[in-house]
Amino acid sequence: MAHSQGDGQFAIVPLALVQPRVNQQLAQAFLVQQGQRQGLNYRYRDFHIHDLRLFFQNYSAVDTGTRANVAGRECAEFRIEKLAQGVRRYTVAVALEHGLVLRYVEELLDGTPVAKMEFTAVDFAPDLSQVIWHQPKNAEQLLARSDPQAQILGFQPILPRTLPPGYQMVEQAIVRDELGNPWLKTTYGDGVERLFFVHGGPLVPGPLASKWPKPDRVEVLDAAPWASAQGNLSGQKVIALGKVSPDELLIVLDSSRP
């Protein structure tokens, strides 16, 4: 399954081919769900060093001494693990020529495989005329730290006071739901991984109110390695999402209570 991204081509190589039998209704529901997740996958799914300073604060990178050939390019192989309370490691093949990550394998510390990505070809002068690029659907608007958030949002935003080890705030943005209502999306990072806290303000009666848990309830979805938690805490709509355990997400949400 080949895709184009930036100025190269890559292939997503599954560790095991699973093709469940589903009826047309379930197949359509799956496609809709994938469409809703494509922004997250496009920006955050694969291994990437988002912040070099945080990366060196939180991770070790050890050259294994192995030289690999990936997509016809000579690569150095590194093993990358979190310094404190890590649960996974990455084995990353980095092209010596230009520093691109051409392959990575993600696994838990006990060796359980999680994901693998590998380039099959690299073209630095591709024909992009027929490429359909990802188009964000949430009208994301980045904010400066000095922006008057309450005035822009129309409600007083809240933030978590407790985060998993190594995570720091990296950016904030306004996003909008299907009715056009603003939410404050706060992104935290540890150099590699991302954690999101999204606050939609007070829960008010309306078409979306029935989708939310009862007061002071949280619904958790564990889709390893990602987990999400959605709650109605003290009458506030809050969502947390990240590659952390559900328990860690619950601590993040609970610490956001106004």
Query: Considering the domain boundaries, does residue 132 fall inside one?
Result: no
3-state secondary structure of 149: helix
Confidence of residue 2 (pLDDT cuts 50, 70, 90): very low
Domain boundary among 121, 154, 184: 121
Report how many domains make up the chain. Answer: 2
In the prediction, which pLDDT does 216 show? 84
In this predicted structure, the answer to whether residue 10 has a pLDDT above a threshold of 70 is no
Do residues 163 and 95 both lie within one domain? no
Q: What is the mean pLDDT of residues 145-149?
A: 90
pTM of the model: 0.81
Do residues 112 and 7 both lie within one domain? yes
CATH at residue 185: 3.30.200.100
Distance separating alpha carbons of residues 100 and 122, to the nearest angstrom: 10
Query: Considering the domain boundaries, does residue 81 fall inside one?
Result: yes
On the question of a cis peptide bond just before residue 136, with omega within 30 degrees of 0, the verdict is no
Cα–Cα distances in Å, from 43 out to 27, 64, 153? 24, 28, 25
Q: What is the mean pLDDT of residues 115-130?
A: 91
Angle at 169 (CA atoms; ends 165, 173), nearest 5 degrees: 145
In the prediction, which pLDDT does 224 show? 81
In whole numbers, what is the pLDDT of the chain averaged over residues? 85
In this predicted structure, the answer to whether residue 7 has a pLDDT above a threshold of 90 is no
Do residues 51 and 19 both lie within one domain? yes
Query: Considering the domain boundaries, does residue 63 fall inside one?
Result: yes
Do residues 95 and 168 both lie within one domain? no
Structural domain that includes position 98: 2-121
